[in-house]
Amino acid sequence: MIWVISRFIVEAYKKVSDSGKDKIVEKTGGNSSIMTIPDSGCVMENGASCLPCTPEEEKKIVTDLRNESERNLKEGNLYFVISSSWFRKWERYVGIDGDENLIGNQSSDSRHINGASSVVAERPGPIDNSDIVENGSDSDGKGNDIQLRRMLIEGQDYVLVPQGVWEKLHGWYKGGPELPRKMILQGVYHKKFDVEVYPLCLKLVDSRDESQSTIWLSRKASLTELFQKVCALKGIEQDKVRIWDYFNKRKYAQLSVSNKTLEESNLQMDQDILLELVDGHLSSKIGMDSTGNDLALVSLEPSRSPLTIAGGPTLSNGHSGYRSNLYPGSSLGSGLTDMDDGFDACNSARKGEKGGLAGLQNLGNTCFMNSALQCLVHTPPLVEYFLKDCRAEINTDNPLGMHGELALAFGDLLRKLWSSGRTAIAPRVFKGKLARFAPQFSGYNQHDSQELLAFLLDGLHEDLNRVKQKPYIEMKDSDGRPDEEVAAECWKNHKARNDSVIVDVCQGQYKSTLVCPVCSKISITFDPFMYLSLPLPSTITRTMTVTVFYGDGSRLPMPFTVSVLKNGFCKDLLLALGTACGLKSDESLMLAEVYENKIYRYLEMPLEPLASIKDDEHIVAFRFQKKEIGKTRLVIFHRWQEKAELFGTPLVTYLVADQSSGADIEAAVSKVLSPFKKTSSAKAHVGKENGILLDGLDEECSCSDAQSVENAELEGTSCTDLSIPLRLTDDRVMNFNAFKKDTLFESGKIIGKLLRVVLDWTDKEQELYDSSYLKDIPEVYKAGLAAKKTRQEAISLSSCLDAFLIEEPLGPDDMWYCPRCKEHRQAIKKLDLWMLPEIIVFHLKRFTYGRYLKNKIDTFVNFPIHDLDLSKYVMSKDGQSYLYELYAISNHYGGLGGGHYTAYAKLIDENRWYHFDDSHVSAVNESDIKTSAAYLLFYKRVRSESKVEAGEASHSHSIS
pLDDT digits (tens, 9 = 90+) for 577-614: 888 888 888 888 888 888 777 777 777 666 677 767 77
Print burial letters for 839-877: b (CB count within 10 Å at least 16), e (below 16): bbbbbbbbbeeeeeeeeebebebebbbeebebeebbebe
- How far apart are the C-alpha atoms of 261 and 265, rounded to whole Å? 6
The mean pLDDT of 918-935, rounded to a whole number, is: 93
- How far apart are the C-alpha atoms of 452 and 369, rounded to whole Å? 7
- Percent of the chain past pLDDT 70, that is, above it, reads 71
Residue 599's DSSP bridge partners are: 594
Give 414-476 as a DSSP string: HHHHHHSTT--B--HHHHHHHHHH-GGG-TT----HHHHHHHHHHHHHHHT-S-SSPPP----
Active-site residue flag, 900: yes
Phi, psi of 440 (to 5 degrees): -65, -20
Band of residue 116 on the pLDDT scale cut at 50, 70, 90? very low
Residue 950 pLDDT exceeds 70: no
Query: Residue 772: what pLDDT?
Result: 78
What pLDDT, in 10s, does the model give residues 331-389? 333 334 444 443 444 344 434 456 889 999 888 788 999 999 999 999 999 999 999 88
- How far apart are the C-alpha atoms of 784 and 210, rounded to whole Å? 63
Residue 290 pLDDT exceeds 60: no
CATH architecture of 200-277: Roll (3.10)
SS3 683: helix
The mean pLDDT of 84-88, rounded to a whole number, is: 90
Sequence-distant (≥ 6) Cβ neighbours of residue 118 within 8 angstroms: none
Print burial letters for 118-146: b (CB count within 10 Å at least 16), e (below 16): eeebeebeebbbbebbeeeeebebebeeb
SS3 377: helix
Residue 939 pLDDT exceeds 50: yes
- How far apart are the C-alpha atoms of 504 and 525, rounded to whole Å? 21
Q: Are 405 and 463 in contact (CB under 8 A)?
A: yes
Sequence-distant (≥ 6) Cβ neighbours of residue 488 within 8 angstroms: none
- How far apart are the C-alpha atoms of 544 and 574, rounded to whole Å? 11
- How far apart are the C-alpha atoms of 860 and 857, rounded to whole Å? 9
The dihedral sign for the CA sequence 154, 158, 162, 163 = negative
Q: Which CATH superfamily is domain 55-97+123-135+145-196 in?
A: DUSP-like (3.30.2230.10)
- Pairing outcome for strands 127-128 and 522-529: unpaired
What pLDDT, in 10s, does the model give residues 856-865? 888 899 999 9
Pick the range with the lowest mean pLDDT from 463-472, 682-691, 749-758.
682-691
**pTM here?**
0.58
Query: Residue 52: what pLDDT?
Result: 65
Q: Which of 367, 490, 506, 719 is catalytic?
A: 367
Sequence-distant (≥ 6) Cβ neighbours of residue 18 within 8 angstroms: 39, 60
Band of residue 835 on the pLDDT scale cut at 50, 70, 90? very high
The residue that leads in pLDDT, 156 or 696, is 156
The mean pLDDT of 19-43, rounded to a whole number, is: 39
What pLDDT, in 10s, does the model give residues 308-338? 222 232 222 323 333 233 223 333 333 344 4
* Location of each CATH 3.10.20.90 domain in the chain: 200-277, 541-678+723-775
- Percent of the chain past pLDDT 90, that is, above it, reads 21
- How far apart are the C-alpha atoms of 5 and 922, rounded to whole Å? 80
Query: Residue 849: what pLDDT?
Result: 63
The mean pLDDT of 481-489, rounded to a whole number, is: 90
What would the CATH number be for the domain defined by 541-678+723-775?
3.10.20.90
Band of residue 156 on the pLDDT scale cut at 50, 70, 90? confident
Query: Residue 461: what pLDDT?
Result: 94
Band of residue 107 on the pLDDT scale cut at 50, 70, 90? very low
Specify burial of residue 951 (Cβ count, 10 A radius: 0-12, 13-18, 19+): exposed
Sequence-distant (≥ 6) Cβ neighbours of residue 476 within 8 angstroms: 489
Band of residue 659 on the pLDDT scale cut at 50, 70, 90? low
Q: Are 675 and 555 in contact (CB under 8 A)?
A: yes
Residue 526 pLDDT exceeds 70: yes
Among 12-21, 197-206, 312-321, 564-573, the range with the most confident prediction by mean pLDDT is 197-206
Residue 705 pLDDT exceeds 90: no
Across the chain, mean pLDDT equals: 74
DSSP state of 654: E
Band of residue 712 on the pLDDT scale cut at 50, 70, 90? very low
Active-site residue flag, 719: no
The residue that leads in pLDDT, 721 or 717, is 721
- How far apart are the C-alpha atoms of 687 and 700, rounded to whole Å? 19
Band of residue 110 on the pLDDT scale cut at 50, 70, 90? very low
Cα diameter, the chain: 121
- How far apart are the C-alpha atoms of 747 and 728, rounded to whole Å? 15
Query: Residue 571: what pLDDT?
Result: 80
The residue that leads in pLDDT, 836 or 633, is 836
DSSP state of 575: H
Q: Which of 112, 170, 494, 900 is catalytic?
A: 900
Query: Residue 746: what pLDDT?
Result: 57
Say how many residues make up the chain: 960
Q: Which amino acid is at 480?
A: G
Band of residue 952 on the pLDDT scale cut at 50, 70, 90? very low
Band of residue 277 on the pLDDT scale cut at 50, 70, 90? confident
Band of residue 906 on the pLDDT scale cut at 50, 70, 90? very high
The residue that leads in pLDDT, 162 or 271, is 162
- How far apart are the C-alpha atoms of 953 and 751, rounded to whole Å? 83
Residue 840 pLDDT exceeds 50: yes
DSSP state of 676: G
Band of residue 651 on the pLDDT scale cut at 50, 70, 90? confident
Pick the range with the lowest mean pLDDT from 294-303, 522-531, 684-693.
294-303
Query: Residue 272: what pLDDT?
Result: 85
- Which of these, 199, 158, 160, lies nearest to 78 by C-alpha position? 160
- Which of these, 436, 390, 397, 438, lies nearest to 411 by C-alpha position? 390
